[in-house]
């Protein structure tokens, strides 16, 4: 029997209406997600978390390289540095401390020419990361340079170096702080390093095995390209120098190192504050060793690894002018 067209449309309409009503009833009902959809969502969440972590890592500065462990068998190098207050003091000490930080098993003995430790030097030592001992020794008024006198007129740093020798012999305590002082009886080598010289890191490894007194050339000193021992057959036979070559030890302060055990075995050996010009080094070494027993280093004294440099004294005319106007630089900013 043939169906009428209008009946077909009626049935289609009713079925569609029923489907629409069912769909409307399902709105707002909780979705029963399948397990694989939930797993996919969790995987995406973990990916997002990993991406966030990687982005954070890229934004961080690279970590500082780890310092290699220091072999316990290495003798400690004791670097003795006299220092005094001046405009370039902090700049000099920062430069020196950063060189010393490259040397393993090193202890910095910094001695201020002052009545008491200063905040500038104390703060610099604390921030240096070095093992250190902070001492003070005030130069007597009669031994100080007078205004306008050239630096070579009077020996400088004598009281400070002698105070360091007393500490090395166990007769002096730290005045301004100490970090990791070496144990009593530790093996070591003593080197007198002024704060204005320039030092190669290699120099310190050359001196580390010193048994008595080791020596090497020093550049830009004594009016020459370099001064230093002359060596034949591995033995010191003379000295290349222009000024008073007949001195017992015509060496610069930066040109030798001394075994700590030798210093301790000669308790009377120290620097003489009354020594004539150029004889300060000899006043110590004459009590320790004979020139023929010096130990040449730096390829038999043919290589320069330390330079007697000096920082130019800053000119402060503009600063003085501003101070007279009441507009000087902020004294609270440490320079």
Element (H, E) at 135: strand 131-136
Ligand-binding annotation for 154, yes or no, is no
How far apart CA 204 and CA 301 sit, in angstroms, is 14
Helices (runs of H) and strands (runs of E) counted in the chain: 10, 13
Q: Which residues pair with 226 in a beta bridge?
A: 219
Ligand-binding annotation for 84, yes or no, is yes
Ligand-binding annotation for 76, yes or no, is no
| Cβ within 8 Å of residue 289, ≥6 positions away | 212, 213, 262
Ligand-binding annotation for 297, yes or no, is no
Write down the catalytic residue from 112, 281, 312, 334: 281
Ligand-binding annotation for 330, yes or no, is no
CA atoms in the 13 A half-sphere facing the CB of 73: 1
Ligand-binding annotation for 36, yes or no, is no
Is residue 281 annotated as part of the catalytic site, yes or no?
yes
Task: Give the Å distances, CA to CA, from 170 to 90, 103, 192.
Answer: 29, 24, 18
Ligand-binding annotation for 310, yes or no, is yes
Ligand-binding annotation for 290, yes or no, is no
Ligand-binding annotation for 32, yes or no, is no
3-class DSSP assignment, residue 283:
helix
Ligand-binding annotation for 241, yes or no, is no
Binding residue numbers for Mn(2+): 196
Q: Cite the active site residues.
A: 281
In the annotated binding site, the residues are 82-84, 113, 156, 161, 194-196, 308-310
Binding-site residue numbers for UDP-alpha-D-glucuronate are: 82-84, 113, 156, 161, 194-196, 308-310
């Amino acid at each position: 029997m043939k169906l009428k067209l209008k009946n077909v449309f009626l049935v289609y309409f009713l079925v569609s209406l029923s489907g629409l009503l069912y769909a409307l009833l399902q709105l707002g009902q909780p979705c029963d997600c399948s397990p694989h959809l939930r797993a996919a969502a969790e995987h995406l969440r973990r990916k997002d978390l990993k991406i966030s972590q990687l982005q954070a890592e890229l934004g961080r500065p690279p970590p500082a390289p780890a310092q290699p462990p220091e072999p316990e068998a290495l003798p400690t190098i004791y670097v003795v540095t006299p220092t005094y207050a001046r405009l370039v003091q902090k700049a000099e000490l920062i430069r020196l401390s950063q060189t010393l930080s490259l040397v393993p098993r090193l202890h910095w003995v910094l001695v201020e020419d002052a009545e008491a430790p200063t905040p500038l030097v104390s703060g610099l030592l604390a921030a240096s990361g070095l093992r250190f001992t902070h001492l003070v020794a005030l130069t007597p008024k009669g031994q100080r340079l007078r205004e306008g006198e050239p630096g070579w007129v009077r020996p400088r740093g004598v009281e400070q170096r002698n105070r360091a020798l007393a500490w090395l012999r166990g007769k002096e305590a730290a005045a301004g702080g100490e970090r990791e002082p070496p144990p009593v009886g530790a093996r070591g080598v003593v080197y007198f390093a002024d704060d204005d010289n320039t030092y190669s890191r290699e120099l310190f490894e050359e001196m580390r095995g010193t048994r008595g007194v080791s020596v090497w050339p020093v550049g830009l000193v004594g009016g020459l390209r370099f001064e230093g021992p002359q060596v034949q057959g591995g033995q010191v036979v003379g000295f290349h120098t222009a000024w008073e070559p007949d001195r017992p030890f015509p060496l610069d302060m930066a040109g030798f190192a001394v075994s700590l055990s030798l210093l301790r075995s000669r308790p009377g050996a120290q620097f003489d504050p009354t020594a004539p010009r150029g004889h300060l080094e000899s006043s110590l070494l004459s009590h320790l060793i004979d020139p023929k027993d010096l130990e040449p280093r730096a390829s038999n004294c043919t290589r320069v690894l330390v330079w007697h440099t000096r920082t130019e004294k800053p000119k402060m005319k503009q600063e003085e002018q501003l101070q007279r106007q009441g507009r000087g630089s902020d004294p609270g900013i440490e320079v």
